[in-house]
Amino acid sequence: MQLSALQILHVRNLNTITLQCNPDANVLFGDNGSGKTSLLESIYLLGRGRSFRQRDLKSVVQSGTKELIVAGTVLSDQSRSPSSLGVKRSREGRFEARHNGETLRSASQLASQLPLQLVDAHSFILLEGGALQRRQFVDWGVFHVEHGFGSIWRRMQLALKQRNHLLRHDRMDNEQLVSWTREFVSASDAIALHRENYLSELELEIATISKYFDGLGALTIEYINGWDKKVTLADALESDFEKDRRLGKTHQGSHRADLLVKINGTPAAERLSRGQLKRLIYILKLAQASLYKKRTTESCIFLLDDLPAELDRCHRKQVLDCLSQLSCQFFVTGIEKTDFKDLLVNIAHQMFHVEHGEIFPA
């Protein structure tokens, strides 16, 4: 998959932008605040319908305007036939998305049309943050290779919401509680199975990708499914019933799952330096892209904000060489053009200078 053309209107400080994208590498350099990250944010909006920088889109819409628009032409690796994708977000929160002129009902439909991987200054949260970020990491992969996963995940979320609602009521409808608990268990079990199967495949890709990056140690991942493995989820919920009712929420299930990432048997976040953590994050994301390509024959698009941060020149080259081997189109930012000197010798690329919201071929 690749983005061949991009149109941006009213995203932060970017003026009206029309960009012809290189199918391999697109390098954006310029001073801080020039608009480099805003361009990556625009692509993210096109593929996810939201920003990776903040929840509230009011400040993403350019000052003095009512809405932002991002549109792009997407080429499939299989057919090479172009398709159009577009997103409109207003200050009031209205969301519109279209694919080849047809209205999309949700942001998840955008994600299936433009598979994106992002690495930025906040990516450390994958290893240093709470379980939610690691669940999202796993679920991104499962969503993109198992077409029915999205509907199962929505079933689980609905059942969890309804069960928690009933638990908080003084006069509980026991019949409804039994029904929603049964639905929650069914969906949670299915999600756990999908996640475990996905991670068993991902481990093989991690082992392969790790060969591009030296010196981290023995990397292992372990899936924690969100309830005591010695019992079924149904039994765990029955044992927890009084606690759940007292506190008004469900304490065990696939919504409490986590992923333990270890180096030489120690949690990675406790053992590795910032630079090593950044390399590990790249390994995990690149392994996902590799598995995605094997399962779908399509490649991901990578957004790399400030590649030079925490990575020396040798490790920057390792990242870009791996992306090239996977045939992933990427958009990468840095302050100086020289940050990328000699890194793209064997990779087709286009350099862009970003200055005061304008983008110029360099």
Convert the pLDDT of each residue in 266-281 to its tens digit.
Answer: 999 999 999 999 999 9
φ/ψ of residue 252, rounded to 5:
-130, 145
Q: Are 2 and 323 in contact (CB under 8 A)?
A: no
Compute the average pLDDT of residues 172-178.
Answer: 88
pLDDT of 254:
97
Q: Give dist(CA 69, CA 87) in Å, integer.
A: 6
CA atoms within 13 A on the CB side of 150: 12
Q: DSSP string covering 181-249, please?
A: HHHHHHHHHHHHHHHHHHHHHHHHHHHHHGGGS-SS--EEEEEE-SS-TTS-HHHHHHHTHHHHHHHTS
- Say which range, 122-136, 167-181, 246-260, 270-284, has the weakest mean pLDDT: 167-181
Interval 85-113 mean pLDDT: 90
Average pLDDT value for the chain: 93
Average pLDDT in the 83-108 region?
91
Q: Strands, E, within the chain: which ranges?
A: 2-9, 17-20, 25-29, 67-75, 82-90, 95-99, 102-103, 116-119, 219-224, 258-263, 266-267, 301-304, 329-334, 349-355, 358-361
Using alpha carbons only, give the angle 124, 130, 135 rounded to the nearest 5 degrees.
90
- Residue 35 CA to chain centroid, in angstroms? 21
HSE (CB half, 13 Å, CA atoms) of 306? Answer: 14
Arithmetic mean of pLDDT, 24-39: 94
Q: What's the pLDDT score for residue 362?
A: 87
Q: How far is CA 325 from CA 159, 209, 293, 321, 346, in A?
A: 42, 10, 12, 6, 11
Give residue 282's identity as a one-letter amino acid code. Answer: Y
102: confidence class by pLDDT, cuts 50, 70, 90: very high
Q: Is it the case that residue 172 has pLDDT exceeding 90?
A: no
Q: What percent of the chain has pLDDT over 70?
A: 100
pLDDT band for 319, please (50, 70, 90 cuts).
Answer: very high
pLDDT at 169: 84
Phi first, then psi, for residue 88 (nearest 5°) are -130, 130
In angstroms, the CA 157 to CA 82 distance is 35
Cβ-proximal residues to 129 (8 Å cutoff; 6+ apart), any chain: none
Contact 41, 53 (CB under 8 A): yes
pLDDT at 170 over 80: no
Helix %, strand %, coil % of the chain (to 5): 45, 25, 35
Strands 82-90 and 67-75: antiparallel
In which region does residue 253 sit, left (phi positive, over 0), alpha (psi from -120 to 50) or beta (all else)? left
pLDDT tens string 190-248? 999 999 999 999 999 999 999 888 778 889 999 999 999 899 999 999 999 999 999 99
Question: Which range has the worst mean pLDDT, 74-78, 117-121, 287-291?
Answer: 74-78
DSSP secondary structure letter of residue 132? H
Q: Indicate the pLDDT class of residue 171, thresholds 50, 70 and 90.
A: confident
Tens-digit pLDDT profile for residues 40-71: 999 999 999 999 998 888 889 998 899 999 99
What type of residue is 32? N
150 contacts 144 by C-beta, under 8 angstroms: no
CB 223 within 8 A of CB 195: yes
Closest CA to 124 of 283, 277, 328: 277
